[in-house]
Structure 1
Amino acid sequence: MSLGQLLLTGVPGPELDSETAARFKKLQPGGFILFGRNIISPEQVRKLIDDLRDLSDIEPFITIDQEGGRVSRLRLIGEEPPNAQSLRDKGDVKLIKQHGKLTGQILRLFGFNLDLCPVLDISYDDTADNSLKGRCWGRDPQQVINNAGVFNRAMRGEGILSCAKHFPGYGPAECDPHEFLPVIGKSHPEMLESELLPYTALLPEIDSVMTCHSNYTAYDPDRPRWPASLSHNVCTKLLRDQLGFEGLAMTDDLDMGAILNEVTFEQAIQEAVRAGNDLVMICHRLEMVELARQHLEGVEAPILHDALVRIEKTKKRLVAPDPFSLDRFAKINRDIWDLRVATLGEELAQNKSVEDGKRSPVELY
């Protein structure tokens, strides 16, 4: 398997030009992630995904952030599902299950096979300015476990793989990692009683885990400002050895300020894989993807081998896309609207999120 399999890359625009197609054909990335810049119409999204699949010698991960609310890329061409907080506050398990089911159905229709959710972070403050506003399934660990678990099982039941994020939990973060590196000072016993509980409970039914760009002083006391996504103590000793996770691990986007401001690009790529991540994510500086591939050559062979094995094992569970039809899209879209109304009420359902990036760059990404 090519080292390109360890790369999860963004795509420049809504269609593949010949130059981009040639680059991806040569690089053979392990997966692709789509953002708002890639989404114009239902038919265009499906064609782009089919084209990406056609370029790939090995079935690629085709992924997106489709959580609900403002972090729902597909709301650019359809209805906006309610967010986790709205569903949590409504307190109706049937609606959460329906949200998971519809999320799985719409993603399968477009050809996605992995969704970057559920968020397992705990909301200590629903107004905190740390990119999590509206995205958390609970205000305490058990509420996160209950709600995220229902969503996760329903979505996976439709054939979409899931990704728990942001490990080991950045509910306590006081700044937005898209811009700066949060430093979290909780002790390991405190983490076990809070942030880590949803992972302990749900890891057996999660396909992948996204490691986050926060510094945890409990796990890296000798390395100030060292992000968890690059930490062997977090990604291997904690996630794999202590919590027993054998699935796919990936970094959050390495183009975020919490990484760019702290380490070099070469460090970010190599240390992420040495730490225990299998996929490194480059969402925006796409001109760096070939360089990332070169930097991977500097990582020790046994580490690369283990990552490639986990990627191959996870890809065996990928499910082929559903046939595309606009009628089917229209039906799922109506169902998403009905879910939105059932969750928020007719009046509030009319108020869609404004995509202005003022709450967090996560909206524009």
Structure 2
Amino acid sequence: MKVKEKLSLLISFVLIFTLGCSPKTTTKKEDNQSGSKIAKNSSNIHHVHKYKKSDLIKDKINRMTLDEKIGQLVISGIDGTSLNKYSKALITNYHVGGFILFSSNIKNIEQTHKLINSLKTTNSKHSNIPLFLGIDEEGGRVSRMPLAFKKLPTSKAVGTVNNAKFSYNIGKLLGRELNFFGFNIDFAPVMDINSNPRNPVIGDRSFGNNAAIVSKLGIATMKGIKSQKIISTIKHFPGHGDTSVDSHLGLPIVQNSYNKLKNRELIPFSSAIKNGADMVMVAHILLTKIDNKYPASLSKNILTGLLRKKLEFNGVIITDDMTMGAIEKNYSIEKAAVNSLKAGTDIILVCHGYNNEVKVIKQIKTAAKNKTLSIKSINEKVYRILKLKNKFKLKDTRSTAKDVNNINSAITLLLNKYTK
């Protein structure tokens, strides 16, 4: 082969190799289209994951019976200091979503552990949805802990110190106390402003008499409770501070306008919601200038119009106890429960009386069957409830006894640092 021919072949080979191995070039338009496709695909992947994640709860709800869904809408009290046939029936026959315990249910550390563990064990045999287990543990005079625990100060005393770090650590200790037994909800802190000196029920349960101090210390306490994986419930929406009647005994009537509420009572609640409140307890208070027919716990104007829409709260709404005088003396408890759910609540709290609890559950079922309460709204409520249980990773795992001295020592150190 001639040198010229060899050179020509070599050049051709090099060109073919270079072109074959070079990456494909694209125009700017093609680049943009490719980028758009990637962005679109990435977005689709994101949405698919998001959809699948949220759909796990929807799938669970779709597999639930109507009775199981209705049960999630109720938290019940129990009688006595041990699991009895009534509390067992509330789990096995009525599928209640949880229980609240009071001082009458708590004698000592060993008994309390045994009671809570028996509730969890019974539920785990009949349901794959863990129980809410709640208690009013505020510190001061509203405490259900056994006497073996050192007392925590009132919210008023915490307000006197007026230190957010102190409040946070008080909340943290409240959470530790609840964890000690296996509770998962603390119906605290109180976000009411103690604005009425004639108020017979709030008083030293409030952090103070102005919105700023209640907001600051209430939010800090809420965050402290949550730091221990305990659900915090801010209460008593839309504010029980400016009342002169105890709602345990009768129905408080408040004449405040929306503007007055907005500029005082609502500020701590609004602030707490913006700071991640998960659950709000609504009071039995008649606010005549917002709803002159129904108390807050039964009022669509307040539950949906004010709490959901104006304050943009998307978490779980629970009533105060429906066996309190404010409801019991003025309404049928079971019909009030249905009206409350229709108005916007998610959970009905029925603290006393097995017959009351059963009547409420049966009335909700009747309302669902005759479509007074839509299945769609029930599913939405159950969704919020299961979402919260998932968020805090609730399980019906038995708790084991711990050393109470560790908590008591921490309480002593904290009080010595800030109150002496």
Give me the TM-score of the superposition, normalised by structure 1: 0.89
| Amino acid in the other structure paired with 1:246 | N
Q: Do 1:82 and 1:343's aligned partners in 2 also have CA atoms closer than 8 Å? A: no
Residue 60 of structure 1 and its aligned partner are, at CA, apart by: 1.0
Amino acid in structure 1 at the alignment position of 2:270: T
- Which whole-Å deviations, capped at 9, do the CAs of 1:128-174 have from their partners, x for residues lacking one? 34310211112111111111111111111111111110011111111
1:148 paired to 2:218:
yes
Structure 1, unaligned runs of 5 or more: 346-365
Secondary structure of the corresponding residue to residue 326 of structure 1: coil
| Alignment counterpart, residue 243 of structure 1, candidates 298, 311, 318 | 311
Q: Which residue of 2 aligns with 1:194?
A: 264
What is the CA deviation profile of residues 163-200 of structure 1, one whole-angstrom value per residue up to 9, with x for unaligned ones? 11001111111110000101011111111101111111
Identity %: 33
Does the 8 Å contact 1:104/1:158 carry over to 2? Answer: yes
1:137 and 2:207 aligned: yes
Residues 5-24 of structure 1 mapped to structure 2, 5 A cutoff: 5-24=72-91
Q: Which residue of 1 aligns with 2:402?
A: 326
- Secondary structure at the residue paired with 1:173? coil
Shift of 1:23: 3.8
Q: Output the aligned Cα RMSD.
A: 1.8
Where does residue 360 of structure 1 map in the other structure? none
Q: Which has the higher contact order (CA 8 A, sep 6+)?
A: 1
Aligned counterpart for 1:108 among listed residues 156, 171, 179: 179
Larger Rg: 2
Q: Which SS does the other structure have where 1:244 is aligned? A: coil
Residues 1:119 and 2:190 are matched in the alignment: yes
Tell me if structure 1 keeps the 8 A contact 2:133–2:184. yes
Contact 1:81 1:339 in 2 (8 A): no
Query: Does 2:169 align with 1:98?
Result: yes
Name the counterpart of 2:12: none
CA distance in 2, matches of 1:220, 1:213: 12
The answer (yes or no) to whether the contact 2:208–2:214 under 8 Å persists in 1 is yes
Q: Which residue of structure 2 aligns with residue 361 of structure 1? A: none
Residue from 234, 244, 258 that aligns with 2:302: 234
Q: Which of 159, 174, 180 is 2:229 aligned to?
A: 159
Give the counterpart letter for 1:261 in structure 2: K
2:97 to 4, 18, 30: 30
Q: Is the 8 A contact 1:175 1:182 kept in 2?
A: yes
Post-superposition offset of 1:343: 5.4
> 1:179: which partner in 2?
249
Matches within 5 A, 1:198-347: 198-204=268-274, 205-221=276-292, 223=293, 226-297=294-365, 298=367, 299-320=373-394, 323-327=399-403, 329-340=404-415, 342=417, 345=420
| Matching residue within 106, 115, 118 for 1:48 | 115
**SS where residue 205 of structure 2 aligns?**
coil
Tell me by how many angstroms 1:331 deviates.
1.1
Give the Cα–Cα distance (whole angstroms) in 1 for the partners of residues 82 and 297 of structure 2: 31
Per the alignment, residue 30 of structure 2 pairs with none
Instruction: Report the CA distance between 1:18 and its aligned residue.
Output: 4.0
* Aligned counterpart, 1:351: none
Gap runs ≥5 in structure 2: 1-63, 368-372
Query: Structure 1 residues 95 and 276 mapped into 2: Cα distance closer, same or farther (>3 Å)?
Result: same
TM-aligned CA distance change 1:128 to 1:75, over 3 Å: farther
